[in-house]
Structure 1
Amino acid sequence: MENGQRVDRRTIHTELERARTEFHALLDTASEAELGQPTDGTRWTNEQLLFHMLFGYILMLPLLALMRVFGRLPRWAGRGFARLLNAGTRPFDVVNYLGPLGGARVFGPRRMGATFDRVIVCLHRRLDAESEIGFALGMHYPARWDPFFHEFMTVADLYRYPTQHFAFHRRQLTLTAGD
């Protein structure tokens, strides 16, 4: 919500639905062999990267909760928290890598699709319930953790994050389906 402009909820809803449709197309058309193939530019398989893409949306719920807390505290508190998290980038990177290894195994393609649906429905509801003032709430973020995290982000910025993350990683998949 920059320069006092209203947030275009319809655009965010459309982005969420486009990601959901694309995620299902990828899952529904990929063979088991393709899911096990390496990706382009990561150490994950296609299935593991798909889980990582899903996880970007799952993370929205705790990220929004954190935003509600730190967005109401003095900026120095959020800045200190972001610095602390940035200092832990190496351990974060390890967990960020290992998570999809186990997550893809536990969930599998069918459960990933169902989970994606549930998370998107929840995000649609949260988006519709958000007040214009709520969209302006912001906090400092650990910008070293993700290229789509910025030093300071608002709730409006946060709603755009998972789809940016999704699109970036979509280009790294080596699936022939969905192209």
Structure 2
Amino acid sequence: MSHPRVDRDALAADLERARTDFHQLLNTTGSDEWKALSNGTRWTNEELLFHMVFGYMIVQKLLILRRVLARLPAGVGRANARFLNTATVPFDWVNFHGSRVAARVYNRRRMGAKMDRVIASLQRSLRSESEANFALAMPYPNRWDPYFQDSMTLADMYRYPGRHYDHHRLQLTTTGARER
């Protein structure tokens, strides 16, 4: 069966766009802006910047899960997505507080290097995926994030972190974020 080819170059370019932009944000955030509250979240700018990296980190883990579940009977994937949706409240708690705590470890001095490593890993994974894998879809917990869909292909998974990044970028209250 023939499937439309996925534009890997566009997916790779979007990963690189975010990586480059992230470094620009880190370099232009003033010393008084790191601890300032972001717009529309309970995070500081520093915590939100880490959360933007976390969006890429979660995709690394979801790609592993996807490789396993996409090859199992469809009912297994649907059951997994239903189970994960039932865990939305604890996920939201971990997502919020985890980003707060992790921003202390991957702070302004370390999160740029973390972003570089995560993007490099995703770029390697993107290059190594077979065309057939891009056609496989699996159910996802659509209540975890507004950019998660009921069913997502591999290409959707590579698009997700850029959408998540852009959404949260608009919530930053830093000078660099406003200059775009």
TM-score, structure 1 length as denominator? 0.96
**Alpha carbons 1:36, 1:46 under 8 Å: kept:** yes
Structure 2 equivalent of residue 175 of structure 1 = 174
Structure 1 equivalent of residue 153 of structure 2 = 154
Measure the CA separation in 1 of the matches of 2:110 and 2:4: 38
Structure 2 equivalent of residue 133 of structure 1 = 132
The aligned runs of 1:114-125 (5 Å cut-off) are 114-125=113-124
Unaligned residue ranges in structure 2 (runs of 5+): none
Measure the CA separation in 1 of the matches of 2:41 and 2:3: 39
Query: Structure 1, residues 7-42: CA drift from partner, whole Å, max 9, x if none?
Result: 001111110111001100101111221011101110
The aligned runs of 1:53-92 (5 Å cut-off) are 53-92=52-91
**Alpha carbons 2:19, 2:115 under 8 Å: kept:** yes
Higher helix fraction (1 or 2): 1
Measure the CA separation in 1 of the matches of 2:59 and 2:87: 20
Runs of 4+ displaced beyond 4 Å: none
Aligned residues: 177
Measure the CA separation in 2 of the matches of 1:125 and 1:93: 29
CA drift at 1:4: 2.7
Unaligned residue ranges in structure 1 (runs of 5+): none
Matched to 1:169, the amino acid is H
CA drift at 1:156: 1.1
Matched to 2:45, the amino acid is N
1:15 equivalenced with 2:19 (yes/no): no
Measure the CA separation in 2 of the matches of 1:73 and 1:133: 15
Taking every aligned residue pair, what percent have the same amino acid on both sides?
54
Measure the CA separation in 2 of the matches of 1:174 and 1:154: 33
Structure 2 equivalent of residue 44 of structure 1 = 43
**Alpha carbons 2:45, 2:174 under 8 Å: kept:** yes
Measure the CA separation in 2 of the matches of 1:102 and 1:135: 35
**Alpha carbons 2:3, 2:132 under 8 Å: kept:** no
Query: Structure 1, residues 92-145: CA drift from partner, whole Å, max 9, x if none?
Result: 110010011111111111210001001111111111111100111221100000
TM-score, structure 2 length as denominator? 0.95
